[in-house]
Structure 1
Amino acid sequence: MPEAALPERVRVGVVGAGYFGRFHLDAWARIGGAALVAVAEPDAARAAGALAGLPEGARPRVYPGVAEMLAAEALDLVDITAPPAAHPAILEAVLPRVSHAICQKPFCGGLEAARAASALAARHGTRLAVHENIRFQPWNQAARGLIEAGAIGAPYQVTFRLRPGDGQGARAYLDRQPYFRAMPRFMVHETAVHWIDTFRYLLGEMTGVWAQLRRINPAIAGEDAGVILFDFASGARGLFDGNRCADHGAENRRLTLGEMWIEGAAGTLRLDGAGRLWLRRFGETEEAQQRFAWQDRHFGGDCVHRCAAGILADWRAGRPSPMEAASYIRNQEIEAAVYESAATGRHIPL
């Protein structure tokens, strides 16, 4: 069984160097106490392109597959960025060989496979977390801090309008993540699950869901729009209003992917498409910008780096990460309830 303690210098291997894998490679090259030593990527040209953006001294060795990487390297942590369908087989190879692993979402492509992977990690004594980065976006972390400080009083509702504007036409998603097009379950499984997790991060546990979903673009297999209502144990409500074919007024529509409002008894927080938070006190007409530090780097305010560094910091401190797979699976259970509600037209208690 692998030893759970992490050494002072954590040797990291990454699986996958595709569109999103590049953000992971860059993150590990910058995280203190981590050494990015290997990447498994069968496409040599893709690997070369991903590594070209890294400092020369931080470029890892490249292997054509996971088996070759594990055979050649003594790794402490493996970060999996491959497409969801590949997760179970990769985890079967990785979990017996390392003490710590992180896997991108959609985790294992589905609930039952995710449960099996979590159980396998437990059997091998391997810490396994899910790279769920939206809650690590700086504006979401700042919003939670303001809520906890009482800036809006008791929360009534959180609303997010997903409007990336990337889903129109016959070539939708081909340039970045073409496997999106074949997903039979798409917007909720791939995208809205981010905000299931983020809503829970902001307002606590959910107790029920109701959903209507639809497909607008006939060029893809799954749904690309819909409305989901969430009940919270506190009595608050959540609304996710998603449409990947519509956009919002932002210079970079992928920065926040949409706009958010968090309403409470004492005021309202508003997130705009430039990553700015605005607070309007109850009864007032003017908003005040809430300042917080962040970098407009890579994806979503450098949230990939924030997520990986946060998970590693928790593990180094000997505490569980909030992104541990066994805990993260709750998001996937809620996702399953969303699809059940959409299929039956019923409110689904959780």
Structure 2
Amino acid sequence: MPLTGIIVGAGHFAHIQLEAWQEVQGARITAVLSLTMENAQQLADLYGIRAFDDWDTAIREMQPDFVDICTPPDSHYHYTRLTADLGLPVLCQKPLAPTLQEGEALVAYCEQRGVPLMINENWRWQAWYREMKAMMDAGMLGHVYSAYMAMRPGDGWGDNPYPVQPYFKEMKQFLIFETGVHYIDTYRYLLGEIDSLYCQVRTLNPVIQGEDLAVIHMNFRGGAVGLYDANRVTYMEQVRCPTYGYMTMEGTEGKLRLEGDGSIYYTPRGGIERKHEYVIPTKGWKGGCTIATQQHFVDALQEGSPFETSGTDYLASVRAVYACYESASTNQVVHLNAAANN
């Protein structure tokens, strides 16, 4: 029998996740819960599931095997606690929580109760990053010593930026907290743990509250240096292209570059650049990453195996986010071991 779950939240990304759940094997979502019945019903009608606006009623009537939390960060701890109190596994959206302390408390609450917690960090599951990791593991790059990620969605200029998610304008910590964490976590997936970082931020569009430009220089424990060069205001011919930008990686045996459509180009040492052929899934958001993430959650539950982005593991990405803000405010390099111990 497939596992059954309920999804909490009926916003922009809940629709994307529900679409992905249609392709996941071994589990299905049977209901959507929202504070507003109208919003819940719209999604429920679209996917042929039940709609609720009351937690107790939804749990009593649906008896789920897990809960998918897809609400704004300020309610993640609340719904995670409710789920953990029932002993049910949790799939929780990022950003994890409004503060580092609340994020740590959220993870600790699940750990204390022995409840499986996975953070729904789908960026590392984009097909191009999985392929790049496979190329690295196959030795095609040798020892990677340098990486560069340029994020350019092109959706943050003018009087009405971020039309898909307009609440972005009000976030006092924005680009790194909301989007940059994706790239920090993906860097960790590709290059390992971050030893230290230095960050600078700017606010270019005066109509928003938080930063919309960030440059983060990262030193990895394995010896690589990484640069995250991001802003959301540069004009782009294609807004929100599949990769949100482009990337390069350089190693002792070769180098690669990732283009906006997901194409990867590889140059071996002593050779010439050629397009690296691989399959990009056509179903699912951004190279099938939502499907792959949610499939990983289900597979791990059924097999009893660990999550790639367990709550404990993901705290390393969250701590790096707050280290970035500390670095930007003090204009100093922040060492992650020291930051984790403070």
Shift, 1:298, TM fit? 4.2
Post-superposition Cα deviations, 1:52-82, rounded to whole Å, max 9, x if no partner, equal 553xxxx221101333322322111100111
8 A contact 1:75–1:98 mirrored in 2: no
Match of 1:5 in 2: none
Q: What percent identity do the matched residue pairs reach?
A: 32
**Counterparts in 2 of 1:13-28, with a 5 A limit?**
13-28=6-21
Cα distance in 2, alignment partners of residues 204 and 331 from structure 1 = 11
In structure 2, the gaps of 5 or more residues are 337-342
Match of 1:210 in 2: 198
8 A contact 1:208–1:348 mirrored in 2: yes
Amino acid at match of 1:118: V
8 A contact 1:102–1:129 mirrored in 2: yes
Deviates more, 1:20-29 or 1:159-168: 20-29
Match of 2:24 in 1: 31
Structure 2 counterpart of 1:41, from 10, 13, 34: 34
Post-superposition Cα deviations, 1:107-130, rounded to whole Å, max 9, x if no partner, equal 122211111111111222211110
Match of 1:161 in 2: 150
Structure 1 counterpart of 2:62, from 58, 73, 94: 73
Match of 2:212 in 1: 224
**Counterparts in 2 of 1:265-344, with a 5 A limit?**
265-284=252-271, 286-344=272-330
Amino acid at match of 2:283: R
Cα distance in 1, alignment partners of residues 98 and 278 from structure 2 = 35
Shift, 1:30, TM fit? 2.1
Post-superposition Cα deviations, 1:1-55, rounded to whole Å, max 9, x if no partner, equal xxxxxxx42111101121111111122222111121111023344334434553x
Shift, 1:316, TM fit? 1.6
**Correspondence 1:86 to 2:75:** yes
Post-superposition Cα deviations, 1:203-255, rounded to whole Å, max 9, x if no partner, equal 11110000110111111110000110000111110000001111446x46331
Shift, 1:178, TM fit? 2.2
3-state SS of paired residue (1:254): coil
8 A contact 1:136–1:307 mirrored in 2: yes
Match of 1:112 in 2: 101
3-state SS of paired residue (2:287): coil
Structure 2 counterpart of 1:255, from 242, 248, 261: 242
TM-score for the superposition, normalised by structure 2: 0.94
Structure 1 counterpart of 2:130, from 141, 153, 167: 141
Structure 2 counterpart of 1:349, from 332, 335, 341: 335
Amino acid at match of 1:191: T
Shift, 1:277, TM fit? 0.9
Distance 1:144 1:248, change over 3 A: farther
Cα distance in 1, alignment partners of residues 330 and 281 from structure 2 = 43
Distance 1:247 1:302, change over 3 A: farther
8 A contact 1:111–1:332 mirrored in 2: yes
Shift, 1:193, TM fit? 0.6
Cα distance in 2, alignment partners of residues 24 and 293 from structure 1 = 22
Q: Which runs of 4+ in 1 moved over 6 A?
A: none
- Count residues in correspondence: 336
Cα distance in 1, alignment partners of residues 292 and 69 from structure 2 = 16
8 A contact 1:18–1:50 mirrored in 2: no
3-state SS of paired residue (1:135): helix
Amino acid at match of 2:261: A
Amino acid at match of 2:185: D
Distance 1:69 1:144, change over 3 A: same
Distance 1:62 1:230, change over 3 A: same
Cα distance in 2, alignment partners of residues 236 and 258 from structure 1 = 21
Structure 1 counterpart of 2:232, from 238, 244, 264: 244
Structure 1 counterpart of 2:175, from 179, 187, 192: 187
Question: RMSD of the TM alignment (CA)?
Answer: 1.6
8 A contact 1:66–1:90 mirrored in 2: no
8 A contact 2:197–2:217 mirrored in 1: yes
Match of 1:4 in 2: none
Amino acid at match of 2:141: I
Shift, 1:180, TM fit? 1.3
Deviates more, 1:289-298 or 1:43-52: 43-52
Post-superposition Cα deviations, 1:183-205, rounded to whole Å, max 9, x if no partner, equal 11100001111011100100111
Distance 1:280 1:247, change over 3 A: farther
3-state SS of paired residue (1:256): coil
Cα distance in 2, alignment partners of residues 32 and 247 from structure 1 = 40
Cα distance in 1, alignment partners of residues 221 and 190 from structure 2 = 13
TM-score for the superposition, normalised by structure 1: 0.92
